[in-house]
Amino acid sequence: MPTPKPGRPVRGSRTGRPIMAALDLLGRRWTLRVLWELRDGPLTFRALRDACEGVSPTVLNTRLRELQDGRIVEKTEGGYGLTPGGLGLSKALRPLDSWARSWAAPS
């Protein structure tokens, strides 16, 4: 399965709308988690593995390649880090944390 990109058909949408590519990409296992773990700076492959306890190196590498392909993650001196665009995505994801906390609170 190729890396979803804006402007091209993705799984579940032939329109090529950016949001559809994003939803496809982020809806793959561990993708959101990896972005979350990288929010405070670069991590090495092995540190990232440890942060996402239980992810297999196969999938981690696949996800990293997809994210690099989408210019969201890049290799830096300190390991894998967010690109400027990836940083924007990470910020767009922040509200999730406060939502999750309110979700956890009893209704």
Residues in touch with DNA (CB under 7 A):
1, 11, 28-30, 44-47, 54-59, 61-62, 64, 75, 79-80
Token pair belonging to 43: 């991590």
Write down the H helix ranges in the chain: 18-26, 31-37, 45-51, 57-69, 84-93, 95-104
Nearer CB in complex with DNA: 48/101: 48
Helix, strand, or coil here: 72?
Answer: coil
Could you say which of a second copy, DNA, none residue 47 binds, taking C-beta under 5 to 8 angstroms by partner kind? DNA
8 binds, among DNA, a second copy, none (CB under 5 to 8 A by kind): none
